[in-house]
Structure 1
């Protein structure tokens, strides 16, 4: 005869919150036939970038009267191994068109989902508040004592990252803060993963496949006059990357 404990039904699932490092694909043009070929061109210049990656579509830059064909866009993105999972920003009608195609609006951590604004009450002066303390989940710097091999991905969540070796071609290092590479950067380096626009990338030998800060990125062919093979600091100035030679 079975005991009550053996007859107890196991939980079929559990829900829990989580923070994920997602890239936002800002749509600047509503035409699918323009967006997808441009992405394919980036793939040719940075093999492996965004392949099979979940992304969020940024809608803030789109004309509210000219929403893309989201159903067609989703199909075309999936055909090049990109998985759109939702949207951020944008006008109400554009968000509604995306949601009808299966892309729900997503919210940033601690933010509310966009909804139609109710009538604003009379303004009430807010009390003066002190600056908030640093995030409680910010961690000590992560240190990697060896080279990062092709195919490896290292993510320093909620902190800076120091790599005491080479980041090889095909490897990827990610940090919510700054990235310091005391060796050659030959793979991909992504800083400011938590939308930290002040994050920076430092490398003793700068020869990357791709660098990115807070979602803004440049591939090898788009580095312009960056001092390749030198000690370099990468930072954001507005929406443009600056490559400064150090030493």
Structure 2
């Protein structure tokens, strides 16, 4: 085989799309000592969860002066605690320039979804329309995204993702596994790994499970770790939902 042909059939690497869950640190201001002390408190709550995780710094609610935003110090603090800052989300041009100088990737700000207001022109047409029999009903829009159904246990190290709709699992989710969905997550068995619902920002998403034993549950970026979850509904059939930006656990029999 010619050398050129061999090179084409045996490439050093390939690029493929991947869905990877990341933890976002929502930064309000940066002061070195306060930042490290707060980080230590978070790590004390769940040492295993924070070890070697990739972190995205979100600047969407940053209120401090840009001059105090020292990414090199922030990265250094995180590395001392085995946390790896990989990117910045949002921020203005000066803040993103500082992030680029610190060799961080740049992610766009989260899209803000607002309800669509009725258009006056459409209302005027409705008022002027004559009283004639309604036409036969037609489709009212695109069909909802189909749920993804999993019938086998989700084992440690596995990740299952439903990028558009709900995720339904008719088996246990083992410790060390991760399940993610744009919509709701239903686990008809013990939930021992990590469950992240509403990953695109759907705050109405919920997590349902037959036995809450999770390492972490997140809805639209708001999360609770195992130590917090054990305070209510532990090893019971529950649903988890957001109420006033707080993750609330409710038994399914109520």
TM-score by length of 2: 0.71
Alignment match, 1:103: 104
Using the alignment, how far apart are the partners of 1:33 and 1:93 within structure 2?
24
> Number of matched residues?
228
Alignment match, 2:26: 26
Using the alignment, how far apart are the partners of 1:13 and 1:167 within structure 2?
32
- Write the mapping of 1:84-233 to structure 2, written as runs, cut at 5 A: 84-107=85-108, 140-223=146-229, 225-233=231-239
With CA pairs under 8 Å and 6+ residues apart, which has the higher RCO, 1 or 2?
A: 1
Using the alignment, how far apart are the partners of 2:58 and 2:184 within structure 1?
24
Structure with the bigger percentage of helix: 2
Using the alignment, how far apart are the partners of 1:16 and 1:185 within structure 2?
30
Moved more, 139-148 or 212-221: 139-148
Using the alignment, how far apart are the partners of 1:215 and 1:13 within structure 2?
33
Task: State whether residues 161 and 179 of structure 2, in contact with CA within 8 Å, keep that contact through their aligned partners in structure 1.
Answer: yes
Q: Which runs of 5+ in 2 are unaligned?
A: 113-118, 123-139
Q: CA deviation at 1:241?
A: 0.9
Task: State whether residues 55 and 84 of structure 1, in contact with CA within 8 Å, keep that contact through their aligned partners in structure 2.
Answer: yes
- Report the structure number with the largest CA radius of gyration: 2
Using the alignment, how far apart are the partners of 2:226 and 2:159 within structure 1?
19
Q: CA deviation at 1:40?
A: 4.5
Using the alignment, how far apart are the partners of 2:226 and 2:8 within structure 1?
55
TM-score by length of 1: 0.73
Alignment match, 2:131: none
Task: State whether residues 64 and 90 of structure 1, in contact with CA within 8 Å, keep that contact through their aligned partners in structure 2.
Answer: no
- RMSD, aligned α-carbons: 3.7
Q: CA deviation at 1:73?
A: 1.0
Against the structure 1 CA distance between its residues 81 and 198, is the aligned structure 2 distance closer, same or farther, given a 3 Å change threshold? Answer: same
SS of equivalent residue, structure 1 residue 75: helix
SS of equivalent residue, structure 1 residue 155: strand
Q: Does 1:242 align with 2:248?
A: yes
> CA offsets, 1:44-63, max 9 Å, x none?
44354354443321113322
Alignment match, 1:56: 56
Moved more, 90-99 or 209-218: 90-99
Q: Does 1:77 align with 2:72?
A: no
Task: State whether residues 160 and 176 of structure 1, in contact with CA within 8 Å, keep that contact through their aligned partners in structure 2.
Answer: yes
Q: CA deviation at 1:16?
A: 7.9
Against the structure 1 CA distance between its residues 8 and 174, is the aligned structure 2 distance closer, same or farther, given a 3 Å change threshold? Answer: closer
